[in-house]
C-alpha cells in the first residue's frame, strides 16, 4: 500500500480514514504523539519512541488503551504493509471523543489511538543547512510531545519563506531547540547541547548522539549555550528522527561552523552506522 492509517481499530488508507468531529484533538489539541522513521521497513529506535509516547501520555493523564506490546506489534506490522522502505511511522493518542468542553469529564472514557505510516524521506547528511533564528514563544510544556504545534508551524513557515530549512529558537539569549529538531554545538572538541528541562523536547536522536559521543570518548556537556556561542561554535548540528546528524552552515544569512569537520564526520558516521545496523543494511 502507498500509506496506511489506524484509528481505534479501523484500518484504511490515510485519505479515507474518517475521524469524528468531536475528537478532542480538533477542539483542543488534547493529545500527544510520537514519530519515527523507517529504513527497509524497520522503524528506527522504536522502543525509545514508544516509551517516550507512553511517558508523554502519562504526563497529560491519558492512559493509552492499548498494551505496549500490542502497539509495538501494530506499528511493526503497518510499516511492513507500506511499499516505501523509507517512511514516517506516527502514533498518537487523544483524550477521546466528546462534546466540546475543556474539562476531562467531557471526554468519553476511551482515549483514541491513531497510527499512520506514510512514505517520507530523511534529511540528507551531506548537505549544509540554512537556518533562521526566532524567539521561542512557546509555553513551558516543551518536554511533552503534544500535538499543539501551532508555534512550530509558524516558525517553520517563516524559515521556509526565508529559503531556509529550520528555525533555531531562543529564549532571550539562550538557545533552546529548533521548530522540529534539537540543536547542538561542537566547540573545543566538546559536544554541547541544552539540558533536558521543560524548554526542550528530549529528542531520541539527541540521546543517541550523546551516547555515541561518550562511547567514542568525545566529551559531552548538557548545558545551555547562547546565540553568540552558537554563532562562534566550531560546528552547529541539528538532529531529529529524520535528521540523524545534520550540519548547519548558515544562520540568519551568516556563515557558521565548518571548523571541526573531522569531529563532525565521526559523529555523523556513527549515526549512520547505527541506523544501517538497526535496519539490517550491510554496507560494502
Q: Which CB, 97 or 186, lies closer to ligand PLP?
A: 186
Q: Choose the catalytic residue: 81, 145, 158, 269.
A: 145
203 contacts ligand PLP (rule: CB under 6 A): yes
Cell numbers standing for residue 270: 556513527
Question: How far is residue 117's CA from residue 105's CA, in Å, rounded to a whole number?
Answer: 31
Q: Give yes or no: 145 in active site.
A: yes
**Contact between 182 and ligand PLP per CB under 6 A:** yes
- For the bound state, the minimum distance from the C-beta of residue 98 to ligand PLP, rounded and expressed in Å, comes to 27
CA distance 67 to 199: 30
Which of 134, 180, 184, 247 is close enough to bind ligand PLP by CB under 6 A?
180
Q: How far is the CB of 148 from ligand PLP (least distance, A)?
A: 11
Cβ within 8 Å of residue 221, ≥6 positions away: 190, 191, 192, 193
| Residue 146 touches ligand PLP, criterion: CB under 6 A | no
CB of 193 to ligand PLP, least distance (A): 11
Under the binding rule (CB under 6 A), the answer on residue 44 touching ligand PLP is no
Tell me how far, at minimum, the Cβ of 265 lies from ligand PLP, in Å.
20
Residue of 32, 113, 175, 201 that binds ligand PLP (CB under 6 A): 201
For the segment 212-241, give every residue that binds ligand PLP (CB under 6 A): 239-241
Specify the residue, 98 or 203, whose C-beta has the smaller distance to ligand PLP.
203
Taking CB under 6 A as the binding criterion, the range among 6-14, 20-28, 197-205, 220-228 that sits at the site for ligand PLP is 197-205
**CA gap 252, 230 in Å, rounded:** 12
Query: Which is nearer to ligand PLP, 107 or 275 (by Cβ)?
Result: 275
The verdict on 205 binding ligand PLP (CB under 6 A) reads: yes
For 51, counting Cβ atoms within 10 Å of its Cβ (0-12 exposed, 13-18 middle, 19+ buried), the class is middle
CB of 209 to ligand PLP, least distance (A): 9
Q: How far apart are CA 3 and CA 118, in angstroms?
A: 5
177 binds ligand PLP, rule: CB under 6 A: yes
Residue placing its CB nearer to ligand PLP in the complex, 112 or 176:
176
How many residues of this chain interact with ligand PLP, rule: CB under 6 A? 12
Q: How far is CA 217 from CA 212, 220, 223, 240, 259, in A?
A: 9, 9, 18, 22, 19
Residues binding ligand PLP (CB under 6 A)? 177, 180-182, 201, 203-206, 239-241
Catalytic residues: 145
Amino acid at each position: 500500500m502507498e500509506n496506511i492509517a489506524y484509528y481505534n481499530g479501523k484500518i484504511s488508507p490515510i485519505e479515507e480514514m474518517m475521524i469524528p468531529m468531536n475528537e478532542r484533538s480538533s477542539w483542543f489539541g488534547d493529545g500527544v504523539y510520537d514519530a519515527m522513521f523507517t529504513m527497509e521497513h524497520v522503524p528506527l529506535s522504536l522502543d525509545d519512541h514508544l516509551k517516550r509516547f507512553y511517558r508523554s501520555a502519562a504526563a497529560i493523564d491519558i492512559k493509552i488503551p492499548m498494551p505496549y506490546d500490542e502497539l509495538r506489534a501494530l506499528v511493526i506490522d503497518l510499516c511492513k504493509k507500506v511499499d516505501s522502505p523509507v517512511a514516517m511511522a506516527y502514533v498518537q493518542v487523544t483524550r477521546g471523543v466528546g462534546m466540546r468542553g475543556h474539562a476531562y469529564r467531557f471526554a468519553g472514557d476511551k482515549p483514541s489511538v491513531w497510527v499512520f505510516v506514510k512514505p517520507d524521506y530523511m534529511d540528507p547528511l551531506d548537505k549544509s543547512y540554512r537556518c533562521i533564528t526566532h524567539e521561542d514563544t512557546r509555553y513551558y510544556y516543551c518536554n511533552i510531545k503534544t500535538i499543539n504545534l501551532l508555534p512550530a508551524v509558524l516558525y517553520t513557515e517563516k524559515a521556509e519563506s526565508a529559503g531556509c530549512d529550520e528555525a533555531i529558537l531562543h529564549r532571550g539569549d539562550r538557545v533552546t531547540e529548533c521548530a522540529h529538531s534539537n540543536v547542538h554545538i561542537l566547540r573545543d572538541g566538546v559536544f554541547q547541547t541544552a539540558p533536558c528541562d521543560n524548554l526542550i523536547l528530549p529528542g531520541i536522536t539527541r540521546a543517541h548522539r550523546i551516547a555515541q559521543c561518550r562511547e567514542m570518548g568525545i566529551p559531552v556537556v548538557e548545558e545551555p549555550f547562547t546565540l553568540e556561542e552558537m554563532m562562534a561554535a566550531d560546528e552547529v548540528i541539528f538532529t531529529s528522527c529524520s535528521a540523524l546528524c545534520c550540519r548547519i552552515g548558515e544562520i540568519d544569512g551568516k556563515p557558521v561552523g565548518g571548523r571541526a569537520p573531522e569531529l563532525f564526520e565521526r559523529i555523523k558516521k556513527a549515526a549512520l552506522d547505527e541506523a544501517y545496523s538497526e535496519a539490517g543494511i550491510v554496507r560494502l
